[in-house]
Amino acid sequence: MARRSIKSYVKREGRLTKSQSSALDNYWVKYGVNYSPTALNLESIFGRRAPIILDIGVGAGESTINHALIHPENNYLAIEVHRPGLGRLLNKIESLSLNNIKIINHDVIDILEKQIPNRSLNQIFIFFPDPWPKKKHHKRRLINSDIFMLMKDKLNLHGRLHIATDCLNYAEHINELLNCNLEIINLAGKDNFSPRPVWRTETRYEHRGIKLSNKVYDFCCGLS
C-alpha cells in the first residue's frame, strides 16, 4: 500500500521536562521497541504468548496503564508519535513495575503496514483520535478507509476494534466508513453507537471535552 504523505499529527514536540527526558533516557531500553520496517515477533518482545491489544495514539497512556493493570493477562502495544507523553507513560510503567506494556514511538500507519503481523491482534483501541474539526483538515484524520483496510488484516478472527470520539462529525464519518466496509462491522448495528464500555478510562482529554459538554461516541467493531 502506498505510504500516506498527509500525516494525522503535527510534530509539536516543544521541550521535554527533565523527568520526561530522563524517563526516555533510562527506561526506553526496558519498555521501548524501536521502529524498523520489518515484522515484529510479538511473543519475543513481550517474552510470553498472550492476547495483544494495540492502543493507538495513547497520549500519556492513562488508559493503557489502567487497562494493563486490570488485565495482567494481556500484552499492550502502545503507539504514540509525541515524546513528552511517552516520557510520562514510561515513568508510570516503571513506578508500577508493569511488564505487559511495550511502546513504539512512530506513525501507526507504518507500524501497521510493516511491523504488525496479520491476524495477530485481539483488540485495537483508538480513543479520541485528533478530531481535525475544520473541513480543510479532514484529510488529516487518522481514521479513513486506508487504516480500516490495514486493521481488518491485523485483527484476529474474533478481534475487536474500539473507537471513541467526542467529535460528532468524525463519528458520522466513522459510521459512513463502517457502512461502506463489508469486512469490519459495527457490532451495535447499522448507524448505531455502542454504549460506553465500562472499562474505558476517562482520560484528561476526554474529561476536558465532557466539561465543555461534548458528547462521546463509542464504536465496537468486529470482523464480518
Ligand X SMILES: C[S@@+](CC[C@H](N)C(=O)[O-])C[C@H]1O[C@@H](n2cnc3c(N)ncnc32)[C@H](O)[C@@H]1O
Residues that bind ligand X (CB under 6 A): 8-9, 57-59, 63, 79-82, 85, 107-109, 127-130, 142, 203, 205-206
Decide the pairing of beta strands 75-79 and 121-127.
Answer: unpaired
Identify which of residues 9 and 185 has a Cβ nearer to ligand X in the complex.
9
Residue nearest to ligand X (CB): 57
Does 107 participate in catalysis according to the annotation? no
Shortest Å, Cβ 224 to ligand X: 26
Q: Select which of 110, 130, 153, 218 is catalytic.
A: 130
Q: Can you tell me whether residue 47 is helix, strand or coil?
A: coil
DSSP character string of 57-84: S-TT-HHHHHHHHH-TTSEEEEE-S-HH
Q: Residue 219 CB, nearest distance to ligand X (Å)?
A: 14
Q: Which is nearer to ligand X, 58 or 221 (CB)?
A: 58
Burial class (CB in 10 A: 0-12, 13-18, 19+), 175: middle
Cβ closer to ligand X: 57 or 159? 57
Cell of 222: 468486529
Cα–Cα distance between 108 and 207 in angstroms, integer? 25
What SS3 class is residue 111?
helix
Q: Residue 9 or residue 28: which is nearer to ligand X going by CB?
A: 9
In whole angstroms, what separates CA 119 from the centre of its chain? 17
Nearest distance in Å: CB 190, ligand X: 26
Cell output for 114: 510493516
User: Nearest distance from residue 157's CB to ligand X, in Å?
Assistant: 25
Residues designated as active site: 130
